[in-house]
Amino acid sequence: MRRAIALSEVSVKNGGGPFGAVIARNGEIIAEASNKVTIDCDPTAHAEVSAIRLASKRLDTFDLSGCEIYTSCEPCPMCLGAIYWAHLDRIYYANNRSDAAAIGFDDDFIYKELELKLEDRSTPIINMMREEAMRAFSMWQEKDDKTEY
């Protein structure tokens, strides 16, 4: 956790957001990253997502079971989703989302949006061309040599 916090401080000094993350397995650091949203002009370049990408490349797998993530702040909804998709075993965090909101990083809006019906969300979500898109789902379902995830 100290390394994740140190990364968050370095990130601020380098022009990034105040967030750092470390992924470890059996006490060994596999990957570490800091927030580079503004540095890379990438809204997905959160510390947790970046650390997951690096760990997956290093271990040559999309399944990070057996690993844990240490993050300087409670993960936002996007990062939390990525953590679950990566199958990390445990999440440790330092600052919480209220601490983040107090300095202008308010993820509560997204948490509230997720609770709403699609038609009640602030950004319109419109279903279209479902039948055409179902072909790929059928192809996947029938594929014998697919890699499940």
Catalytic residue among 32, 48, 131, 142: 48
Distance CA 121, CA 106 (A): 17
pLDDT at 149: 87
Helix and strand totals (H; E) in the chain: 7, 4
Instruction: Give the CA distances from residue 41 to residues 30, 47, 114, in Å, rounded to whole numbers and listed in that order.
Output: 25, 14, 25
Q: What are 134's two structure tokens?
A: 């179902």
Report the chain's mean pLDDT, rounded to a whole number.
96
Answer yes or no: 131 catalytic: no
Mean pLDDT for 129-136 is 97
Distance CA 103, CA 148 (A): 40
Residue 106 has pLDDT above 90, yes or no: no
- What DSSP element (H or E) covers 134? helix 130-142
Distance CA 77, CA 42 (A): 16
Q: Is the dihedral of CA 99, 77, 15, 21 positive or negative?
A: positive
pLDDT at 146: 92
